[in-house]
Structure 1
Amino acid sequence: MSEVPEQATKPSGNWSQLLLNKVVFVTGAGGAIGSSIAQTCAAHGARVIIADVNKNAADQTLTKIITEDPNKKDNVISIELDVTNEDSIQQAVNHVVDKWNTIDILINNAAIFTFGAVEDVTADAWTRVLDVNVRGYALMAKAVVPLLKKQRSGSIIQMASISSWIGQAEFVPYNTTKGAVLQMTRNLALDLGPFNIRCNAVCPGATLTPASSNHAAHLNITLDQLVEEQVQKQCLKKWASTQEIANFTVFLASDLCHFATGASFLVDGGYTTI
């Protein structure tokens, strides 16, 4: 029987301080994976900007961090952010610079899930998914890169997907955007390498989030049926928890991984191996 992971466990215990005093900007940090990333960055000593278009969701992530460790109250802020709007981005970046002087790590995580066969997806749906999943990443990098260049260091992590690599039935819009993220990552790594700035992509496989249930509903099957079907296609017979994705993201952002750039890391339980 396949294993369905519980939602991400809260970071706790004697965690090493891999991101001590680093300023980490996480977009989409009110969502399942983004929230886990923000919590885990804070647990590793970072100063974290929890940014999301849904301010209530961002505030909930902030509350989780402070509830876990009240001493982190001064090291986390939540911001309403629309990654498709340059004014919204610049206001957020200015606010962070006023508070903490710079940004060390940008984690481009905000995304929307638009599925369908090419003949069924509307022009407006295409515009929206490209705006958030591709243009939004580029606009965030545009705003943050000058800070990273000034200090001649930094890291940009782009959340891609196994959907960046494989064909999936009636996934045309989403997979198109995630494929674009890989190419953007490579080009950013090339352009920014001379400034000692790294850019990499994380490609999660099947991860238990609210989007999993939406995907199952789109396929007219239950979540348990979806999990059972998917795990047969990978080496590890379970889905990832959001915590597992967050752990890898923190490692990639840290100085433990300072020579990796332009790379795309599959965190998929071996799905793309078979």
Structure 2
Amino acid sequence: MATSKGNESWSKVLLDKVVVITGAGGGIGSAISHTCALQGAKVVVSDVNKAAADKVVADIIATRNQEPDRIMSIKLDTADEKTIEEAVAKVVEKWGTIHVLVNAAANFTVGSIEDVSAAQWSQVFNVNVRGFALMAKHIVPLLKQQRSGSIIQIASISGVVAPLNFVPYSTAKGAVIQMTRNLALDLGSYNIRCNSISPGCIETPPVRKLAASLNMTLERFAQTQAQKQCMKRIGTPQEVANMIVFLASDLCPFITGANLLVDGGYTAI
């Protein structure tokens, strides 16, 4: 479960903003949900796994003293446009609008070009690229109407550099970074900011699975990754969530079209 360490001194920088988070039942998505709630947002915890979303909501209500009417969970498959339309309608019915979209849903398909099937290519792009675009498609009209808003997309350092045997995931995340730039250009005149965040090695379920596939403990895997970056450790979901909150807030009104690295200096070496 996410903790508030590192942001206790912030003062409700998302007060009453309606924040929609996809993939919110996972490690990074859960931390984003907790931190947005801590900062005063009305939070939509959406995930294809409704039970995971419900658990995040229950944890936030129990540990953040969050009022139940300021948080909701929604089953949302970002590969299915109809469910996106229905989810957006539910949020608007409850709170009237949406101020922030956080595209955090992810499909972690990796492999060499020979090993990845056509179905896997479709799946990784449906979730990591097409799903992001469809979420924006159905929320942007609300942001345009109020002439403000923030779209934040989770990319990856894998979209910046080329890890070994990461072809589909890296390709999709590179597309997310470019999509974000295009959105920033198209929506800037409406005072809508669009940015991406590229995490490095973060302690999440996909990283644990990757370590296991290499017959390594998480601790051993973290040690090998730490040597590749300036900070000499892997990151936490909370460190990504803090950056999300900054970009979602009104603290950075002149930041758009950026891809911000949260990677402990991995790409600096």
**TM tier, shorter chain?**
over 0.9
Does residue 107 (structure 1) correspond to residue 102 (structure 2)? The answer is yes
Tell me the distance in 1 between the aligned counterparts of 2:64 and 2:170. 38
| One of 34, 41, 44 as aligned partner of 2:29 | 34
Per-residue CA deviation, residues 135-155 of structure 1 (Å, 9 max, x unaligned), is 000000000000000000000
Query: Structure 1's 190 and 238: CA in aligned 2 closer, same or farther, altered over 3 A?
Result: same
Structure-1 residue corresponding to 2:178: 183
Normalised to the residue count of structure 1, the TM-score between the two structures is: 0.95
Structure-2 residue corresponding to 1:4: none
| CA positional deviation for 1:257 | 1.0
SS in 1 for 2:62: helix
Structure-2 residue corresponding to 1:174: 169
Amino acid at match of 1:271: Y
Tell me the distance in 2 between the aligned counterparts of 1:72 and 1:230. 40
SS in 1 for 2:267: coil
SS in 2 for 1:212: helix
Matches within 5 A, 1:66-215: 66-215=61-210
| One of 238, 259, 265 as aligned partner of 1:264 | 259
Structure-2 residue corresponding to 1:18: 13
| CA positional deviation for 1:247 | 0.7
Structure-1 residue corresponding to 2:224: 229
Tell me the distance in 2 between the aligned counterparts of 1:73 and 1:192. 33
Amino acid at match of 2:259: S
Amino acid at match of 2:244: T
Does residue 51 (structure 1) correspond to residue 49 (structure 2)? The answer is no
| One of 2, 7, 14 as aligned partner of 1:8 | 2
Query: Structure 1's 71 and 169: CA in aligned 2 closer, same or farther, altered over 3 A?
Result: closer
Per-residue CA deviation, residues 111-148 of structure 1 (Å, 9 max, x unaligned), is 01001100000110110000000000000000000000
| CA positional deviation for 1:70 | 3.6
8 Å contact kept, 1:65–1:72 = no
Per-residue CA deviation, residues 158-194 of structure 1 (Å, 9 max, x unaligned), is 0001111011111001000000000000000000001
| One of 233, 240, 248 as aligned partner of 1:245 | 240
Q: How well do the aligned residues superpose, as a CA RMSD in angstroms?
A: 1.3
Tell me the distance in 2 between the aligned counterparts of 1:205 and 1:93. 30
Amino acid at match of 1:90: E
- Which runs of 5 or more structure 1 residues have no equivalent in the other structure? 1-6
| CA positional deviation for 1:238 | 1.2
Moved more, 106-115 or 65-74: 65-74
Percent identity between the two aligned chains? 57
| CA positional deviation for 1:15 | 4.2
8 Å contact kept, 1:8–1:241 = no
8 Å contact kept, 2:153–2:196 = yes
8 Å contact kept, 2:37–2:66 = no
Tell me the distance in 1 between the aligned counterparts of 2:62 and 2:8. 14
Per-residue CA deviation, residues 5-55 of structure 1 (Å, 9 max, x unaligned), is xx6325785641000000000000000000000110000000000000000
Amino acid at match of 2:166: F
Structure-2 residue corresponding to 1:3: none
- The answer to which structure, 1 or 2, has the higher relative contact order (CA under 8 A, 6+ apart) is 1
